[in-house]
Structure 1
Amino acid sequence: MDEEVDMIYFTSDMHLGHEAIIHMCNRPFKNVEEMNKVLIRNFNNMVHKNDTVYLLGDVTHRVSLDEANELISKLNGHKILICGNHDKKYDESLFEGIYDFLELKGYCSTSISLMHYPMLEWPKSRHGSIHLHGHQHNRFEYNIQMKEQGIKRYDVGMDGNDYFPVSLNRILEFMEVEK
Protein backbone atom coordinates (compact mmCIF):
# COMPACT_ATOMS: atom_id res chain seq x y z
CA MET A 1 0.00 0.00 0.00
CA ASP A 2 1.36 3.44 -0.96
CA GLU A 3 1.77 5.90 1.88
CA GLU A 4 0.59 9.41 1.03
CA VAL A 5 3.39 11.96 1.36
CA ASP A 6 2.48 15.26 2.99
CA MET A 7 3.20 18.15 0.64
CA ILE A 8 4.22 21.76 1.12
CA TYR A 9 2.46 24.57 -0.72
CA PHE A 10 2.65 28.35 -0.99
CA THR A 11 0.14 30.95 -2.07
CA SER A 12 -0.65 34.62 -1.64
CA ASP A 13 -3.20 37.30 -2.40
CA MET A 14 -6.38 35.27 -2.46
CA HIS A 15 -8.29 38.43 -1.44
CA LEU A 16 -11.32 36.35 -0.47
CA GLY A 17 -14.35 38.60 -0.16
CA HIS A 18 -12.83 41.46 -2.17
CA GLU A 19 -15.18 42.28 -5.05
CA ALA A 20 -12.98 45.02 -6.57
CA ILE A 21 -9.97 42.71 -7.00
CA ILE A 22 -11.86 40.96 -9.82
CA HIS A 23 -11.64 44.11 -11.95
CA MET A 24 -8.34 45.41 -10.57
CA CYS A 25 -6.52 42.20 -11.56
CA ASN A 26 -8.77 41.12 -14.41
CA ARG A 27 -9.74 37.92 -12.63
CA PRO A 28 -12.09 35.68 -14.64
CA PHE A 29 -15.01 35.67 -12.18
CA LYS A 30 -18.55 37.09 -12.47
CA ASN A 31 -18.72 38.17 -8.84
CA VAL A 32 -17.10 37.76 -5.43
CA GLU A 33 -19.20 34.72 -4.55
CA GLU A 34 -17.96 32.85 -7.62
CA MET A 35 -14.37 33.96 -6.94
CA ASN A 36 -14.49 32.78 -3.32
CA LYS A 37 -16.02 29.45 -4.34
CA VAL A 38 -13.47 28.78 -7.12
CA LEU A 39 -10.42 29.89 -5.09
CA ILE A 40 -11.43 27.77 -2.08
CA ARG A 41 -12.21 24.79 -4.35
CA ASN A 42 -8.88 25.12 -6.20
CA PHE A 43 -7.03 25.43 -2.90
CA ASN A 44 -8.70 22.38 -1.37
CA ASN A 45 -8.30 20.30 -4.55
CA MET A 46 -4.56 20.75 -4.24
CA VAL A 47 -3.94 21.07 -0.47
CA HIS A 48 -5.02 18.08 1.62
CA LYS A 49 -5.65 18.05 5.37
CA ASN A 50 -2.14 16.91 6.36
CA ASP A 51 -0.30 19.18 3.92
CA THR A 52 1.39 22.39 5.02
CA VAL A 53 0.54 25.62 3.24
CA TYR A 54 2.28 28.94 3.72
CA LEU A 55 -0.16 31.80 3.06
CA LEU A 56 2.00 34.80 2.14
CA GLY A 57 -0.56 37.44 2.97
CA ASP A 58 -3.79 39.07 1.89
CA VAL A 59 -5.93 36.00 2.47
CA THR A 60 -9.05 38.17 2.76
CA HIS A 61 -9.96 41.82 2.20
CA ARG A 62 -13.04 43.98 2.64
CA VAL A 63 -14.89 41.49 4.85
CA SER A 64 -15.68 41.44 8.56
CA LEU A 65 -13.34 39.58 10.88
CA ASP A 66 -16.01 36.92 11.47
CA GLU A 67 -16.49 36.37 7.73
CA ALA A 68 -12.71 36.31 7.20
CA ASN A 69 -12.29 33.63 9.87
CA GLU A 70 -15.16 31.62 8.36
CA LEU A 71 -13.58 31.75 4.89
CA ILE A 72 -10.14 30.75 6.23
CA SER A 73 -11.65 27.87 8.19
CA LYS A 74 -12.77 26.34 4.88
CA LEU A 75 -9.16 26.02 3.66
CA ASN A 76 -7.46 22.62 4.05
CA GLY A 77 -4.05 21.96 5.52
CA HIS A 78 -1.80 23.16 8.29
CA LYS A 79 -1.84 26.88 7.56
CA ILE A 80 1.04 29.23 8.35
CA LEU A 81 0.38 32.93 7.76
CA ILE A 82 2.98 35.42 6.62
CA CYS A 83 1.09 38.68 7.17
CA GLY A 84 0.23 40.94 4.26
CA ASN A 85 -0.95 44.52 4.18
CA HIS A 86 -4.66 43.56 4.09
CA ASP A 87 -4.69 40.81 6.71
CA LYS A 88 -6.68 41.21 9.91
CA LYS A 89 -6.07 39.89 13.39
CA TYR A 90 -7.53 36.55 12.39
CA ASP A 91 -8.38 33.82 14.87
CA GLU A 92 -4.92 32.50 15.73
CA SER A 93 -6.27 28.97 16.19
CA LEU A 94 -6.75 28.79 12.39
CA PHE A 95 -2.96 28.85 11.92
CA GLU A 96 0.07 26.86 13.04
CA GLY A 97 1.97 30.15 13.19
CA ILE A 98 1.71 33.81 12.19
CA TYR A 99 4.80 35.77 11.10
CA ASP A 100 5.87 38.91 9.24
CA PHE A 101 8.93 37.14 7.81
CA LEU A 102 10.05 33.53 7.95
CA GLU A 103 13.17 31.75 6.77
CA LEU A 104 12.75 28.04 5.98
CA LYS A 105 15.68 25.67 6.17
CA GLY A 106 15.92 21.95 5.58
CA TYR A 107 13.38 21.62 2.78
CA CYS A 108 16.03 21.71 0.07
CA SER A 109 19.70 22.47 -0.56
CA THR A 110 19.22 26.18 0.22
CA SER A 111 17.14 28.40 2.49
CA ILE A 112 13.82 29.94 1.46
CA SER A 113 12.81 33.41 2.67
CA LEU A 114 9.08 34.12 2.92
CA MET A 115 7.58 37.59 3.05
CA HIS A 116 4.44 39.15 1.63
CA TYR A 117 6.43 41.89 -0.07
CA PRO A 118 9.15 41.31 -2.67
CA MET A 119 12.62 42.15 -1.38
CA LEU A 120 15.69 43.27 -3.33
CA GLU A 121 17.88 41.23 -0.98
CA TRP A 122 17.11 38.52 1.57
CA PRO A 123 19.20 36.20 3.77
CA LYS A 124 21.80 34.40 1.63
CA SER A 125 20.42 35.97 -1.57
CA ARG A 126 23.95 36.17 -2.96
CA HIS A 127 24.48 32.50 -2.14
CA GLY A 128 21.61 30.86 -4.00
CA SER A 129 18.75 31.17 -1.52
CA ILE A 130 15.19 31.65 -2.76
CA HIS A 131 12.69 34.38 -1.91
CA LEU A 132 8.95 33.68 -2.20
CA HIS A 133 6.50 36.58 -2.02
CA GLY A 134 3.16 37.94 -3.17
CA HIS A 135 1.72 41.47 -3.04
CA GLN A 136 2.27 42.51 -6.66
CA HIS A 137 -0.39 40.33 -8.34
CA ASN A 138 2.10 39.50 -11.11
CA ARG A 139 1.41 37.12 -13.95
CA PHE A 140 3.66 34.07 -14.33
CA GLU A 141 5.84 35.94 -16.83
CA TYR A 142 7.29 37.83 -13.85
CA ASN A 143 8.72 34.56 -12.47
CA ILE A 144 10.22 33.77 -15.87
CA GLN A 145 11.78 37.26 -16.03
CA MET A 146 13.26 36.88 -12.54
CA LYS A 147 14.78 33.52 -13.51
CA GLU A 148 16.19 34.92 -16.79
CA GLN A 149 17.83 37.73 -14.79
CA GLY A 150 19.35 35.23 -12.36
CA ILE A 151 17.15 36.45 -9.48
CA LYS A 152 15.78 33.62 -7.32
CA ARG A 153 12.56 35.44 -6.44
CA TYR A 154 9.17 33.87 -7.16
CA ASP A 155 5.68 35.39 -6.83
CA VAL A 156 3.42 32.67 -5.39
CA GLY A 157 0.29 34.82 -5.73
CA MET A 158 -2.95 33.38 -7.07
CA ASP A 159 -3.00 35.70 -10.08
CA GLY A 160 0.21 34.32 -11.58
CA ASN A 161 -0.37 30.66 -10.76
CA ASP A 162 -3.71 29.90 -12.41
CA TYR A 163 -5.54 30.57 -9.10
CA PHE A 164 -3.95 27.58 -7.36
CA PRO A 165 -1.35 27.21 -4.60
CA VAL A 166 2.14 26.28 -5.82
CA SER A 167 3.94 23.21 -4.51
CA LEU A 168 7.45 23.40 -3.14
CA ASN A 169 8.46 20.74 -5.68
CA ARG A 170 7.21 22.85 -8.59
CA ILE A 171 9.11 25.91 -7.32
CA LEU A 172 12.32 23.94 -6.81
CA GLU A 173 12.06 22.42 -10.30
CA PHE A 174 11.42 25.85 -11.80
CA MET A 175 14.37 27.36 -9.90
CA GLU A 176 16.53 24.32 -10.74
CA VAL A 177 17.37 23.81 -7.06
CA GLU A 178 18.27 20.42 -5.60
CA LYS A 179 15.75 18.98 -3.17
Structure 2
Amino acid sequence: MIYFTSNMHLGHEAVIHMCNRPFKNVEEMNQVLIHNFNSIVHKNDTVYLLGDATHRISLDEANDLISKLNGHKIRIRGNHDKKYDKNLFEGIYDFLELKGYCSTSISLMHYAMPEWPKSRHGSIHLHGHQHNGFEYNMQMKEQGIKRYDVGVDGNAYFPVSLNRIFEFMEVEK
Protein backbone atom coordinates (compact mmCIF):
# COMPACT_ATOMS: atom_id res chain seq x y z
CA MET A 1 0.00 0.00 0.00
CA ILE A 2 1.09 3.60 -0.60
CA TYR A 3 0.53 6.42 1.89
CA PHE A 4 1.19 10.15 2.17
CA THR A 5 1.49 12.47 5.14
CA SER A 6 2.96 15.82 6.13
CA ASN A 7 3.30 18.34 8.95
CA MET A 8 3.55 15.89 11.82
CA HIS A 9 5.83 18.35 13.65
CA LEU A 10 6.90 15.66 16.09
CA GLY A 11 8.54 17.25 19.13
CA HIS A 12 7.03 20.71 18.49
CA GLU A 13 5.05 21.77 21.57
CA ALA A 14 3.82 25.08 20.10
CA VAL A 15 2.11 23.44 17.11
CA ILE A 16 -0.50 22.03 19.52
CA HIS A 17 -1.78 25.55 20.22
CA MET A 18 -0.97 27.08 16.84
CA CYS A 19 -3.03 24.43 15.01
CA ASN A 20 -5.57 23.67 17.72
CA ARG A 21 -4.44 20.05 18.00
CA PRO A 22 -6.33 18.00 20.61
CA PHE A 23 -3.31 16.98 22.69
CA LYS A 24 -2.44 17.99 26.25
CA ASN A 25 1.32 18.03 25.60
CA VAL A 26 4.02 17.17 23.08
CA GLU A 27 4.60 13.70 24.53
CA GLU A 28 0.95 12.77 23.96
CA MET A 29 1.02 14.27 20.47
CA ASN A 30 4.17 12.33 19.52
CA GLN A 31 2.72 9.11 20.93
CA VAL A 32 -0.64 9.48 19.14
CA LEU A 33 0.85 10.52 15.79
CA ILE A 34 3.35 7.63 15.81
CA HIS A 35 0.63 5.19 16.91
CA ASN A 36 -1.79 6.41 14.22
CA PHE A 37 0.94 6.21 11.58
CA ASN A 38 2.01 2.69 12.54
CA SER A 39 -1.58 1.46 12.91
CA ILE A 40 -2.09 1.74 9.16
CA VAL A 41 1.41 1.85 7.63
CA HIS A 42 3.04 -1.57 7.77
CA LYS A 43 6.70 -2.45 7.32
CA ASN A 44 6.40 -3.24 3.59
CA ASP A 45 4.22 -0.22 2.73
CA THR A 46 5.63 2.90 1.09
CA VAL A 47 4.98 6.25 2.69
CA TYR A 48 5.84 9.64 1.26
CA LEU A 49 6.60 12.18 4.01
CA LEU A 50 5.88 15.56 2.43
CA GLY A 51 7.88 17.62 4.88
CA ASP A 52 8.00 18.83 8.45
CA ALA A 53 8.18 15.44 10.16
CA THR A 54 9.74 17.13 13.20
CA HIS A 55 10.44 20.65 14.44
CA ARG A 56 12.32 22.36 17.27
CA ILE A 57 14.09 19.27 18.58
CA SER A 58 17.64 17.99 18.34
CA LEU A 59 18.74 16.05 15.29
CA ASP A 60 19.28 12.93 17.43
CA GLU A 61 15.75 13.14 18.85
CA ALA A 62 14.32 13.79 15.37
CA ASN A 63 16.11 10.75 13.92
CA ASP A 64 14.93 8.62 16.84
CA LEU A 65 11.27 9.62 16.34
CA ILE A 66 11.41 9.09 12.56
CA SER A 67 13.02 5.67 13.07
CA LYS A 68 9.88 4.59 14.96
CA LEU A 69 7.71 5.11 11.87
CA ASN A 70 6.89 1.98 9.85
CA GLY A 71 7.31 1.55 6.13
CA HIS A 72 9.66 2.42 3.34
CA LYS A 73 9.91 6.19 3.82
CA ILE A 74 10.49 8.62 0.98
CA ARG A 75 11.09 12.19 2.05
CA ILE A 76 10.01 15.36 0.31
CA ARG A 77 11.85 18.20 2.06
CA GLY A 78 9.81 20.68 4.09
CA ASN A 79 10.72 24.08 5.44
CA HIS A 80 11.22 22.85 9.03
CA ASP A 81 13.03 19.61 8.29
CA LYS A 82 16.56 18.95 9.49
CA LYS A 83 19.36 17.09 7.78
CA TYR A 84 17.97 13.80 9.06
CA ASP A 85 19.92 10.57 8.81
CA LYS A 86 19.61 9.76 5.11
CA ASN A 87 19.58 6.05 5.95
CA LEU A 88 16.05 6.52 7.35
CA PHE A 89 14.77 7.19 3.83
CA GLU A 90 14.77 5.39 0.50
CA GLY A 91 14.84 8.70 -1.32
CA ILE A 92 15.01 12.42 -0.55
CA TYR A 93 13.60 15.03 -2.94
CA ASP A 94 12.39 18.62 -3.15
CA PHE A 95 9.80 17.67 -5.77
CA LEU A 96 8.78 14.29 -7.11
CA GLU A 97 6.44 13.26 -9.89
CA LEU A 98 4.93 9.79 -9.59
CA LYS A 99 3.82 7.98 -12.73
CA GLY A 100 2.32 4.57 -13.24
CA TYR A 101 -0.09 4.41 -10.32
CA CYS A 102 -3.03 5.54 -12.41
CA SER A 103 -3.77 7.07 -15.78
CA THR A 104 -2.34 10.39 -14.61
CA SER A 105 0.71 11.68 -12.79
CA ILE A 106 0.93 12.76 -9.16
CA SER A 107 3.12 15.73 -8.22
CA LEU A 108 4.52 15.75 -4.68
CA MET A 109 5.89 18.85 -2.98
CA HIS A 110 5.80 20.24 0.55
CA TYR A 111 4.31 23.49 -0.70
CA ALA A 112 0.99 23.94 -2.48
CA MET A 113 1.58 24.94 -6.09
CA PRO A 114 -0.94 26.90 -8.15
CA GLU A 115 0.13 24.82 -11.17
CA TRP A 116 2.08 21.57 -11.51
CA PRO A 117 3.05 19.26 -14.36
CA LYS A 118 -0.03 18.33 -16.40
CA SER A 119 -2.32 20.21 -13.97
CA ARG A 120 -4.54 21.17 -16.89
CA HIS A 121 -4.73 17.55 -17.98
CA GLY A 122 -6.06 15.88 -14.83
CA SER A 123 -2.88 15.28 -12.85
CA ILE A 124 -2.97 15.43 -9.05
CA HIS A 125 -0.89 17.56 -6.68
CA LEU A 126 -0.33 16.41 -3.09
CA HIS A 127 1.23 18.78 -0.57
CA GLY A 128 1.50 19.76 3.07
CA HIS A 129 2.84 22.98 4.67
CA GLN A 130 -0.43 24.85 5.22
CA HIS A 131 -1.93 22.88 8.15
CA ASN A 132 -5.36 23.04 6.50
CA GLY A 133 -8.45 21.33 7.82
CA PHE A 134 -10.27 18.84 5.60
CA GLU A 135 -12.53 21.67 4.40
CA TYR A 136 -9.65 22.83 2.21
CA ASN A 137 -9.62 19.51 0.35
CA MET A 138 -13.38 19.75 -0.08
CA GLN A 139 -13.04 23.31 -1.45
CA MET A 140 -10.38 22.20 -3.92
CA LYS A 141 -12.64 19.37 -5.11
CA GLU A 142 -15.67 21.67 -5.43
CA GLN A 143 -13.56 24.08 -7.51
CA GLY A 144 -12.36 21.25 -9.75
CA ILE A 145 -8.75 21.62 -8.54
CA LYS A 146 -6.96 18.28 -8.09
CA ARG A 147 -4.82 19.49 -5.18
CA TYR A 148 -4.95 17.71 -1.81
CA ASP A 149 -3.32 18.62 1.52
CA VAL A 150 -2.04 15.36 3.04
CA GLY A 151 -1.06 17.05 6.32
CA VAL A 152 -2.14 15.39 9.54
CA ASP A 153 -4.23 18.39 10.63
CA GLY A 154 -6.80 17.81 7.89
CA ASN A 155 -6.70 14.02 7.91
CA ALA A 156 -7.64 13.08 11.48
CA TYR A 157 -3.91 12.83 12.40
CA PHE A 158 -3.36 9.80 10.11
CA PRO A 159 -1.51 9.27 6.83
CA VAL A 160 -3.74 9.10 3.75
CA SER A 161 -3.69 6.13 1.37
CA LEU A 162 -3.37 6.55 -2.36
CA ASN A 163 -6.63 4.59 -2.71
CA ARG A 164 -8.43 7.07 -0.44
CA ILE A 165 -7.11 10.00 -2.48
CA PHE A 166 -8.20 8.34 -5.73
CA GLU A 167 -11.67 7.70 -4.29
CA PHE A 168 -11.93 11.29 -3.05
CA MET A 169 -10.84 12.71 -6.40
CA GLU A 170 -12.86 10.15 -8.35
CA VAL A 171 -9.81 8.99 -10.29
CA GLU A 172 -9.95 5.70 -12.14
CA LYS A 173 -7.30 3.29 -10.84
- Is the TM-score greater than 0.5? yes
Give per-residue Cα distances to partners, 1:124-172, cap 9 Å, x unaligned. 0000000000000000010000000000000000000000000000000
1:15-164 to 2 correspondence within 5 Å? 15-164=9-158
Unaligned runs of 5+ in 1: 1-6
RMSD over aligned Cα, in angstroms?
0.3
Structure 1: 4+ residue segments shifted above 3 A: none
Please give the secondary structure, in 2, of the residue aligned with 1:81: strand
Please, which runs of 5 or more residues in structure 2 have no aligned partner? none
Please give the alpha-carbon distance, in whole angstroms, between the structure 2 residues aligned to 1:174 and 1:36: 28
**TM-score, structure 2 normalization:** 1.00
Select the residue among 5, 20, 30 that pairs with 1:11.
5
Query: Could you give the per-residue CA deviations for residues 65-122 of structure 1, whole angstroms, max 9, x where no partner exists?
Result: 0000000000000000000000000000000000000000001110000000000000
- TM-score calculated relative to the size of structure 1: 0.96
Residues in 1 aligned to 2:115 and 2:164: alpha-carbon distance in whole angstroms: 23
Letter in 1 for 2:63: N
- What percent identity do the matched residue pairs reach? 88
Separation (CA, whole Å) in 2 of partners of 1:72 and 1:136: 21
Partner of 2:69, secondary structure, is coil
How far 1:55 moved relative to its partner?
0.2
1:9-50 deviation digits (Å, cap 9, x = unpaired): 000000000000000000000000000000000000010000
The one-letter amino acid paired with 1:68 is A
Partner amino acid, structure 1, of 2:98: L
